[in-house]
């Protein structure tokens, strides 16, 4: 009996050790800076819902983009300062549920999909439920295997594509066929969130170590290019990332198992 208890290892044992470490950190209280950033992320998601309800769709989309930036920052700060906790993991997922699932789905529906009837609001609801499943799966698999990739489309990327779509088309009169295409894309993005396609996590990019000056110039140039036409370039960037998962599967020409799952605290989800 004792041997059986000791011998049950593998991925399950690794995950239990991971949660034991997080529970030990929980007793020390919460770490203020990452939690403040997560709170700001949640506030942006809540603000996006309020702005959408008042018909201010462009500002709501900007609030979602701001929430994505804050979500990236709180994950980076938590890892750089070694302040990852179980509380932070759960709090981050709850904030992401509002900012990257409910807020973008409500924005898409109120802005355009409401004109299409039942099929459209079902697309918005599927976006929410698939995002929630994606976040729950991320938490269950936290701390396992390859940290270079996410399994399934991360919720911030899905929300970013929704917000960028609204920013791009908010001043235009979108025809019915265009709204039908957006509704179909909403279904597709929802399914990608719960798929087993692998997406690069960017967690291997170490901001704390030295880099060449050329890297800084490249980052600055990229930001300047995006600033010239943010609606267009944000849509292109998020669209390419959404397509990168299926494209990578076709490129490597072999199935990717669901065993290679996300790691780390966030950067989301």
Looking at the chain, the number of H-run helices and the number of E-run strands are 11, 2
- Domain with 125, as residue range(s), is 18-252
- Which CATH number is 243's domain given? 1.20.120.1760
Residue 98 to residues 24, 30, 129: CA-CA distances in angstroms? 28, 21, 12
Strands (DSSP E) found in 31-169: 149-151
Indicate whether 268 belongs to any domain.
no
DSSP 150: E
In a domain, 7, yes or no: no
Q: 97-152: per-residue pLDDT in tens?
A: 999 999 999 999 999 898 888 888 899 999 999 999 999 988 887 666 567 778 88
Please check whether residue 261 lies inside any domain of the structure. Answer: no
What does the pLDDT look like over 63-86, one tens digit per residue? 999 999 999 988 788 777 777 777
Indicate the number of domains in the chain. Answer: 1
Residue 258 banded pLDDT, cuts 50, 70, 90: very low
In a domain, 215, yes or no: yes
pLDDT one-digit tens code per residue, 166-182: 999 998 888 999 999 99
């Amino acid at each position: 009996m004792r041997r059986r208890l000791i011998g049950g290892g593998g991925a399950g044992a690794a995950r239990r050790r991971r949660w034991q470490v997080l529970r030990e950190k929980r007793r020390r209280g919460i770490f203020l800076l990452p939690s403040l950033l997560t709170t700001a992320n949640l506030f942006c998601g809540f603000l996006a819902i309020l702005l959408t309800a008042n018909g201010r769709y462009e500002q709501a989309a900007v609030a979602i983009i701001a929430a994505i930036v804050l979500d990236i920052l709180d994950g980076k700060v938590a890892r750089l300062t070694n302040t990852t906790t179980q509380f932070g993991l759960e709090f981050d997922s709850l904030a992401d549920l509002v900012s990257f699932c409910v807020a973008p789905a409500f924005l898409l529906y109120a802005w355009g999909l409401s004109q299409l009837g039942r099929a459209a609001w079902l697309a918005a609801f599927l976006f929410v439920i698939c995002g929630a499943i994606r976040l729950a799966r991320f938490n269950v698999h936290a701390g396992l295997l390859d940290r270079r990739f996410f399994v399934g489309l991360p919720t911030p990327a899905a929300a970013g594509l929704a917000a960028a779509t609204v920013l791009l088309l908010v001043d235009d009169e979108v025809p019915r066929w265009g709204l039908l295409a957006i509704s179909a894309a909403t279904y597709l993005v929802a399914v990608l969130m719960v798929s087993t396609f692998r997406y690069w996590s960017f967690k291997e990019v170490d901001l704390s170590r030295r880099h060449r000056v050329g890297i800084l110039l490249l980052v600055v140039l990229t930001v300047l290019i995006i600033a010239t036409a943010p609606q267009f370039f944000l849509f292109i960037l998020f669209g390419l990332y959404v397509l990168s998962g299926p494209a990578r599967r076709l490129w490597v020409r072999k199935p990717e198992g669901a065993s290679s799952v996300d790691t780390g605290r966030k950067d989301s989800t």
